[in-house]
């Protein structure tokens, strides 16, 4: 699920109050940093370890803006500009800095540097009022499933026609639908759902449907009384389901359709997002705010995927295993793009990054939109081109249709 990168890890930030004293005289307590300031400090440390990572630097620029440090944000963007890195600025990531006159020329020059690669084609559209973050595909029936953030339902597209997949009388009502995956052999559809605003903010469920009939078979919640944002899911061959919790900062596992259990502890990641299983199902890849982690499925041990290329892999949303590597939708470090990551034999290092799609005008229909997630179908990747973040703040219906694009992946 796409969010502004500068806000990605605030929910998982742990703040400590600092108190100093000299001899027996207590000095005034030093004010604890705000969540926004703490996040910016963490990114400063990350950038110090990887100063040439343009994606991490962009995240830091946005974090400065969120923290109200406009001068620092603009100076940070100046560094990106002077180095000529192909990172295009998204105004929504700089709500405060964009009001300053220095911002406009930085924005213009970043747009001029955008790498433009256009290989995708329009697969189909759906009504914009759905506000869609994810699409799933059933290879046996040829049906697509379109989740709705705004209307809290799933729509099936079959034979070119759209119809509601989920019943309107489900009680309690469904939450906003986020990540989905079809288990074609077991004839089921799994969906993560969440509520990111309102009185029930922080409530999340994992849903199991009969993919042929739309019957809701089971609902799963983490009953710990804490806020969660169940985001993306992946299904193992034994039907174990792994699911990221973006607010909690961990990963859940469901085995045997029984009880959701923490698999990677809460607070391990800052905004875990896309998730994918290696072909041998020994590694779980988890995208987080400034990178991608590798989790050993047998032990739960977490390492970070090392990037040996000059292109940043920060800000990834959708993540998919493809031919020994990864396909990633990157939307958290400027304007969106689709990447293919080549991994070494160990699956621990990125050795090459190909930009498969970038600068596509559909990614900005409207200007606040971004590509998010999708589904692999053989050597094709179908994905949402123009998800609208913060759709609950919209007045009236979105005017742009949801656009699903298809991309032929290089072998």
- Cα–Cα dist 126/110, whole Å: 31
> What's the whole-number average pLDDT of the chain?
91
407 neighbors 119 (Cβ within 8 angstroms): yes
List, for residues 355-392, the tens digit of each pLDDT value: 999 999 999 999 889 999 999 999 999 999 999 987 66
Sheet architecture: strand order including 380-384: 121-126, 402-408, 380-384, 374-377
List, for residues 247-259, the tens digit of each pLDDT value: 999 999 999 999 8
Beta strand segments in 170-257, E = 176-183, 188-194, 204-210, 216-220, 230-235, 241-245, 250-254
pLDDT band at residue 203 under the 50/70/90 scheme: very high
Q: What is the pLDDT of residue 18?
A: 24
* Residues above pLDDT 70, as percent of the chain: 92
Strands 135-138 and 143-147: antiparallel
Distances from the Cα of 40 to the Cα of 206, 328, 359, angstroms: 32, 25, 28
13 has a pLDDT exceeding 60: no
- Mind listing the domains of the chain with CATH numbers? 5-112 (no CATH), 121-226+275-408 (2.120.10.30)
- Cα–Cα dist 340/206, whole Å: 29
Sheet architecture: strand order including 241-245: 230-235, 241-245, 250-254, 260-264
């Amino acid at each position: 699920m796409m969010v502004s990168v500068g806000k990605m890890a605030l929910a998982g930030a742990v703040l400590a109050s600092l108190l100093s004293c000299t001899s027996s005289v207590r000095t005034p307590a030093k004010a604890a940093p705000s969540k926004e300031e703490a996040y910016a400090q963490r990114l400063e440390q990350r950038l110090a370890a990887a100063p040439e990572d343009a994606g991490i630097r962009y995240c830091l620029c946005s974090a400065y803006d969120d923290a109200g440090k406009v001068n620092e944000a603009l100076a940070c963007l100046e560094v990106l500009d002077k180095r000529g890195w192909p990172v295009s600025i998204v105004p929504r990531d700089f709500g405060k800095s964009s009001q300053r006159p220095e911002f406009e020329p930085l924005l213009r020059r970043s747009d001029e540097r955008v790498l433009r690669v256009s290989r995708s084609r329009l697969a189909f559209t759906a009504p914009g009022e759905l506000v869609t973050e994810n699409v799933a595909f059933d290879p046996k029936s040829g049906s697509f499933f379109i989740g709705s953030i705004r209307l809290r339902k799933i729509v099936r597209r079959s034979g070119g026609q759209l119809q509601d997949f989920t019943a309107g009388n489900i009680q309690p009502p469904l939450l906003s639908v986020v990540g989905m995956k079809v288990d074609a052999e077991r004839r089921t559809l799994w969906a993560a759902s969440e509520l990111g605003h309102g009185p029930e903010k922080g409530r999340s469920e994992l849903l199991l449907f009969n993919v042929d009939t739309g019957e809701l078979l089971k609902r799963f919640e983490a009953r710990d009384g804490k806020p969660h944002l169940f985001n993306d899911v992946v299904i193992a061959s034994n039907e174990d389901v792994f699911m990221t919790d973006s607010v909690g900062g961990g990963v859940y596992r469901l085995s045997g359709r029984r009880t959701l259990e923490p698999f990677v502890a809460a607070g391990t990641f800052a905004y875990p997002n896309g998730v994918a299983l290696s072909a041998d199902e020994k590694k779980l890849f988890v995208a987080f705010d400034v990178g991608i982690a590798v989790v050993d499925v047998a032990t739960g041990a977490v390492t970070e995927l090392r990037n040996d290329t000059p292109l940043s892999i920060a800000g990834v949303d959708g993540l998919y295993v493809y031919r020994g590597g990864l396909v990633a939708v990157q939307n958290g470090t400027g304007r969106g793009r689709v990447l293919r990551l080549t991994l070494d034999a160990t699956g621990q290092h990125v050795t090459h990054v190909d930009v498969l799609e970038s600068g596509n005008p559909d990614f900005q229909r409207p200007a606040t939109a971004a590509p998010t997630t999708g589904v692999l179908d053989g050597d094709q990747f179908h994905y949402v081109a123009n998800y609208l973040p913060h759709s609950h703040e919209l007045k009236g219906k979105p005017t742009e249709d949801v656009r699903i694009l298809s991309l032929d992946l290089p072998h």
